[in-house]
Chain A
Amino acid sequence: MSNFSSNDDALHSVFRRDLRTEWIARNRLHPLHDSVVSAQQGGEVRGPTGLLRKNPHVIGFIGPNGLKRIDRANGSFVAIGGKKRVPSAKDSQRPLHLVENPEGYIMVVGDMIGGRLTSHDKDILGLAHQLAAEKSKVAVVLVCFGENKETQCDLAGVDRVIHLEGNVFEGFAPEAGLSVLQQIETSYQPMHWLFPDSVHGGSDLGSRLAARLGERPATQAWQVTSEKTISRGASGSQDISRTTPRILMLMEECANAVEDTRHEALPLALEFDVSMAEGDHRLIDQGQIDVDSNAVPLAEAEFILSAGNGIHNWDQFHSAAAALRATEGASRVAVDDGFMPRSRQVGASGTWVTARVYLAVGISGAIQHMQGIGQCDKVVAINTDAGCDMVKRADLAVIADSEAILAELTRLAQQRELSKEEEESDAA
């Protein structure tokens, strides 16, 4: 079991020198010199012997006289280029919240998408501390499965961690997860079980546990104290107010994430034989299917690159969509003119989309088109006409020829792809 504190990497992990970076940092003529140097400025630098050199110019550095270096334009300090977020001095200044010999536990089963706490998870950890604060000696325990890349559990409010790894927990393995939760239930009798009410597995696992334990959970809960819970019912149209149950599935923003304290994030022992978690043989995960971004149904797509009458180079449009991994959409004119299939039409007589980002290229923003994008979070417009309705609606509008911008965007996307590959081969 590993430790997930933010400050552990420098202290405990084996130090490995990066000769190439050091060389670039010395060679002022190297094309990457600037970026490497600026990346290093934020944190400590290793001397050639491997000793830590402190950079006294860095913000938050506490000088020999005990004075701290501060930033008057607070917040402008960003660690550029650092692959891991370096904990700022402010974070390590947070008081440590200690729970010794806990007498009660609140279990938070995080979604941990990509092995990291989601903001939803963090909100729930915040809520867990609100509940814990009403009693003494209650530890907030993060339960997580599979790979864990989170380095800031301590700052997110995790007092203890139960982390289970192994093939049985990979992919879709609700029964294996459930058997672990049952074991935890027997071993620790937690005060509360908190799950994110999410499509990422939280609500599934929570519902399974509730059904197994025969306890009635509160779902879509959004206001919780240890006595009373308010949750949404009737497809979000009603508030149900009731005594707080032991199992809760919580909505996003149900509480504020932990911000002022540091936590121990110590492993919590669990007697669990991973081989026992065989799961249910009746459910066999055959893996995620690779769905091409352009094969994603328009209504489900989260990022749409949409073409209108202002596109004149269709090959370029398609390659831009491919490079950006966007799902293609179109205005009716683009469909009528035969450049795009009907199934791609966005708008009143096409599909109503719900994308997080809708990038409209050469689309004027007729009412019928706008009806289709009413539920999009962010709209970006590329258009030559600054007065058109799409520009008025857009969160970001760029007045320019579509071809020029698409060319740049394709370039940026490809560049990023390259640097990501490099990063991966570096990491390997």
Chain B
Amino acid sequence: MQPNVNVVSLVSIGRHPQSGRSRRAEQDGRAVELGLSLVGEALTVVHVGEDQDPVLRQYAGMGLPSMTVLSQGKECDALPVLTSFLKAQLPSVVLTGVRSESGESSGMLPYLLAEALGWPLVPRVAEILHIKDGQAEVLLALPRGQRRSVQVTLPFIASVDNAAQEARQTAFGPGLRATLHVETVDSVVDDAAIQWEMSAAKPRPKRLKVVKAKTAADRMKAATAKPVGGGGKIMKNETPAEKAQAIFDLLLEEKVVR
């Protein structure tokens, strides 16, 4: 632990993908987890939004003695409020999720904060290895479990990837007893967003393999081809070498063997 580093984790209200109910957001939970592993209870956890939301108790239940809520309405822009809060606090590390689970989900917040504060930003962090002499060594999550090591100068902003340590379980009792420091702030309504039309997501059609049939033979083939994904292929009587070759071809086709 690095008790003398000032770390702030930003949290938002998540959304369960199946039920659509509010919950502790996956990545924000990981941001709190990462913060706790860095500085323990010295971590500052900040939420911008409504102070009555029960989800805040789920974050607090991770063992936070207190949380800060910059209280403002749903339709307000979190950026100006957070910028002035962070300018006043001057933390060394600010942790956020990559994308929020509710609202626009643009993932722009860490970038805009970094821009406003003039700090470097490391995206998709899997782990912060250590913080020493004003420098942090950070592992970025790359696809397929790969990692990249980056050294970054404090203060910085990091967005926390799903590959980071999973958020610890939230406990009911401590969550209930944690104190919420509610600060009322001058908030700015997000005008642009008000113009938008929001609707339930339409399912996107899966792209079909469009065969640009230029010959009759082509059209015939396209019409009679076995549909993709309709039940699997079973190989029984071929030789082991043929069977293995079929598997290997599939591995190549899926590009998992290179």
Contact = CB atoms under 8 A, between A and B. Distances in A.
A399 B234 contact: yes
Interface residues of B, number: 77
Interface in A57-79: 70, 72-75
Contact of B106 (A217, A238, A287): A217
Contacts of A280: 120
B257 A416 contact: yes
A336 interface: no
Nearest to A114: B258
16 contacts: A207-B123, A211-B115, A219-B106, A233-B103, A237-B20, A241-B196, A242-B196, A253-B207, A282-B156, A283-B150, A289-B139, A301-B145, A396-B233, A397-B235, A408-B240, A411-B244
Nearest to A232: B201
A303 B17 contact: no
A73 B153 CA distance: 62
Contacts of B148: 171-172, 285-289
A168 to B, nearest CB: 15
Nearest to B240: A404
A216 interface: yes
Contact of A380 (B106, B107, B108, B250): B250
A34 interface: no
A222 interface: yes
Contacts of A416: 257
Nearest to A241: B197
Interface in B88-110: 99-108
Nearest to A254: B204
A405 interface: yes
B150 A284 contact: yes
B226 interface: no
B257 A302 contact: no
Contacts of B140: 172
A207 B115 CA distance: 11
Contact of B200 (A212, A235, A237, A404): A237
Contact of B256 (A281, A303, A412): A303
A87 to B, nearest CB: 17
Interface in B66-123: 99-108, 111-112, 114-115, 120-123
Contacts of A243: 195
A386 interface: yes
B217 A74 contact: yes
A285 B150 contact: yes
Given A238-B201, A396-B250, A207 B107 contact: yes
Q: Of B111, B200, B236, which is in contact with the most chain A CB atoms at under 10 Å from its CB?
A: B111
Q: Of B17, B147, B207, B254, which is in contact with the most chain A CB atoms at under 10 Å from its CB?
A: B254
B183 to A, nearest CB: 25
A391 B234 contact: yes
Contact of A233 (B104, B123, B149, B241): B104
Contacts of B103: 233-234
A75 to B, nearest CB: 7
Given A199-B143, A286-B149, A287-B149, A233 B198 contact: yes
B248 A239 contact: no
Interface in B204-258: 204, 207, 210, 212, 214-215, 217-218, 221, 229, 232-236, 240-241, 243-248, 250-251, 254, 256-257
Interface in A388-417: 391-401, 404-405, 407-409, 411-413, 416
B105 A219 contact: yes
A325 B255 CA distance: 12
Contacts of B121: 208
Nearest to A420: B258
Interface in B5-21: 14-15, 17, 20
Given A397-B235, A412-B244, A240 B250 contact: no
B151 interface: yes
Shortest Cβ-Cβ A-B pairs, 9 listed: A408-B244, A296-B145, A303-B256, A282-B153, A300-B145, A211-B111, A286-B149, A211-B115, A235-B101
Contact of B202 (A234, A239, A284, A324): A239
Contacts of B254: 303, 356-357, 377-378
Contacts of B106: 217, 219-220, 233
B218 A283 contact: no
B143 A386 contact: no
Nearest to A412: B248
Contacts of B256: 302-303, 326, 356-357
A219 B107 contact: yes
A405 B241 CA distance: 7
B141 to A, nearest CB: 8
Interface string A269-291: 00000000000111111111101
B201 A394 contact: no
Contacts of B257: 303, 324-325, 413, 416
Nearest to B213: A74
A212 B240 CA distance: 58
Nearest to A287: B149
Contacts of A324: 251, 257
B232 A397 contact: yes
